[in-house]
Amino acid sequence: MDQPTVTTLPGYVKFTVLLVGFSLLAALVSLGQPIIVPLVLALLFGILLNPVVNFLNKKWKVPNVIAVLISITLLFAFVGCIMLFVYYQVVDISEEWPKIKQNFGVHLKNTERWVQGTFHISRYKQEQYVQETAQQSLHEAEWMGNTLSSFTNTFASLILIPLYTFLILLYRKLFINFLTKVVNVKYEAQLIDILLNIGSIVQNYMMGLIIEMGIVATLTTTGLMILGVPYAILLGVVTAMLNLIPYIGILVAAMLTLVAAMINTTDPSMMLKIILLIWIIQLFDNNFLVPKIVGNKIKINALVSIVGVIVAGTLCGVAGMFLALPTIAILKVIFDRVESLKPYGYLIGDDLPKTIMWNSIVLPDLNEGGEKI
């Protein structure tokens, strides 16, 4: 009796199907952003709070519903206090806007004078170039407007996130049982492994981010106080919060800090000191805090991280930028444990060596990612 032949699709067909699937998923995320973003945020908060709920259930014998309520109340009360503090401080800064505008004009004139003396470009040509650049930046301004609108919509839907988080935690066992019923019995161990690893990675990542935020806020606040910048505490908190958005948030934080510094001074050297301070803190954050405290649990290469942040920001605004890395990390956990998807897990990972030995000295591997010598 002839054995049935199993046909294997060519590689380019599999890649095409995967690409079409991701395109449809991106379209779905873009259209369903008001629904999907709060749900994903609630899922991350639910994974973060799950150990707290389990602790209250097992150690203190607290009923499940009450344990969930206590956990959510503590988390969102903490977040609410931070948002309330930022709101009142921003209201105070808005009253200083005329002074900021006046000092900005002084800085602008000093810059024009320096450019004219150094590069021999007249002020008229400088103003003409600025106007042309402003016209060419209409598209970027439109993108920022869309991002701000997206952020506003997300903020307006924040009332749903505590509700979603409560329900996810309340029915967490139901969801797990559902997945075990859907998946074939022979893959049940693999499913449990995926769920455990996703929970571990998200919890370590979220807790690491909270600790990192506290340290960055403290360092930034202390440095700005030493420099005499007003609203140092607010700027430190805002810098730590924006630092959650990889690669882009710190640039926005630096701009806000420079604007706040214009309240008290027109000294250009102060601007250089602020830029130097933020640069040093960012170096310390990237080279020590992230590897040591966040624990490098999300091993995603820099190219995928940057592209993921930009794509998520385009689809979902500011909230998407924050969700990009944990979402990619969850995908990597799944890819690494499904045989047919392992190549994609390797592609988005960061398994290349970071150092080399040279005469018993550990040095950065400058040939990393290139052809082996």
Taking each continuous run of H as one helix and of E as one strand, the counts in the chain are: 14, 2
DSSP class of residue 264 equals T
3-class state of residue 133 by DSSP: helix
Of the chain, the percentage scoring pLDDT greater than 90 comes to 24
Q: Report the distance separating Cα 228 and Cα 270, nearest Å.
A: 9
Give the Cα-Cα-Cα angle 67, 68, 69 (nearest 5 degrees): 90
CB neighbour list of residue 365: distance below 8 Å, 6 or more residues apart? 352, 353, 354, 355, 356
CB 316, CB 150: distance < 8 Å: yes
Residue 356: beta bridge partners? 363
pLDDT of the residue at 373: 43
Which of 94-98, 174-178, 181-185 is least confident? Answer: 94-98
The token pair at 243 is 């630092």
Q: Report the distance separating Cα 244 and Cα 294, nearest Å.
A: 12
CB 325, CB 36: distance < 8 Å: no
- 15-32 pLDDT tens trace: 788 788 888 988 888 888
Q: Report the distance separating Cα 20 and Cα 252, nearest Å.
A: 34
To the nearest 10 degrees (0 to 180), the angle between helices 138-156 and 123-136 is: 50
pLDDT of the residue at 117: 80
> In the chain, where are the structural domains located?
32-182
Q: Report the distance separating Cα 137 and Cα 131, nearest Å.
A: 10
The token pair at 349 is 């990972």
The token pair at 137 is 């930046």
- 84-137 pLDDT tens trace: 888 888 888 888 788 877 877 777 787 878 878 888 777 778 777 767 765 665
- What pTM, to 2 d.p., does this model score? 0.77
3-class state of residue 349 by DSSP: strand
Q: Report the distance separating Cα 100 and Cα 320, nearest Å.
A: 31
Q: Report the distance separating Cα 338 and Cα 205, nearest Å.
A: 23
Of the chain, the percentage scoring pLDDT greater than 70 comes to 82
pLDDT of the residue at 286: 80
The token pair at 340 is 């047919």
pLDDT band at 141 (very low <50, low <70, confident <90, very high): very low
- Give the other-Cβ count within 10 Å of 174's Cβ: 8
- 305-359 pLDDT tens trace: 888 888 888 888 778 888 888 888 888 888 888 888 888 889 888 766 555 555 5
Asked whether the predicted pLDDT for residue 54 surpasses 90, the reply is yes
Q: What is the 3-state secondary structure (H, E, C) of 22-91?
A: HHHHHHHHHHCHHHHHHHHHHHHHHHHHHHHHHHHHHCCCCCHHHHHHHHHHHHHHHHHHHHHHHHHHHH
Maximum separation of any 2 CA atoms in the chain, in Å = 91
pLDDT band at 5 (very low <50, low <70, confident <90, very high): low
How far is CA 228 from each of CA 105, 223, 225, 237, 251, rounded to the nearest angstrom? 21, 9, 5, 17, 21
